[in-house]
């Protein structure tokens, strides 16, 4: 996707990426489908946006569980005094989903979420810009004639 964006911005492509627009689009389509990029971006964005308004007042750590197949997000808060337990629950969750590509889990602290929001406000505000660029790259032939 970095090469697609570089081409749209009339910049040099990334090293080791296909030089053919057709091949680049094919690789992008495969990666987007395999990684379920749209569902994952929407899901994590919803989860992170959910936290500040629905957090437990005594929780300092959150386990976020995203399943793109069922389009569900589960948020579990743990107080600071239970960080070790939260870590154990996270590790157990990772083990149960290791063979389930549609599921992802992450353990974040409240400070981490706030830091992420401060560092990347546009990502959490709206992932549509990236998704639109991705759609243009693979569907609208924007890459044709630019390489």
Predicted pLDDT of residue 74:
82
pLDDT-based confidence at residue 143 (cuts at 50, 70, 90): low
How buried is 134 (Cβ within 10 angstroms: 0-12 exposed, 13-18 middle, 19+ buried)?
buried
**Which residues lie closer than 8 Å to 131 by C-beta, 6 or more apart?**
37, 38, 41
**Residue ranges covered by each domain of the chain:** 2-35+132-139, 37-124
* Span 85-103, pLDDT tens digits: 999 999 999 999 999 888 8
Q: What is the DSSP string of 17-30?
A: S-SSHHHHHHHHHH
Q: Please, where are the H alpha helices in 13-82?
A: 21-35, 37-54
Report the b/e string of 30-67 with b at 16+ CB within 10 A: eebeeebbbeebbbbbebbeebeeeeeeebbbbbbbbb
* Span 95-137, pLDDT tens digits: 999 998 888 898 888 765 566 566 555 555 567 777 888 888 8
């Amino acid at each position: 996707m970095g090469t697609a964006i570089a081409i749209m911005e009339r910049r040099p492509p990334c090293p080791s990426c296909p030089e053919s627009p057709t091949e680049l689009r094919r690789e992008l389509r495969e990666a987007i489908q395999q990684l379920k990029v749209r569902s994952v971006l929407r899901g994590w964005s919803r989860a992170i946006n959910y936290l500040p308004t629905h957090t437990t007042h005594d929780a300092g750590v959150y386990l976020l569980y995203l399943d793109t197949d069922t389009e569900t997000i589960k948020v579990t808060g743990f107080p600071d005094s239970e960080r070790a337990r939260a870590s154990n629950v996270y590790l157990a969750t990772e083990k149960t989903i290791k063979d389930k590509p549609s599921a992802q889990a992450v353990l974040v602290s409240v400070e981490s979420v706030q830091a992420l929001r401060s560092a990347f406000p546009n990502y959490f505000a709206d992932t549509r810009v990236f998704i639109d660029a991705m759609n243009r790259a693979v569907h609208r032939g924007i890459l044709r004639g630019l390489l």
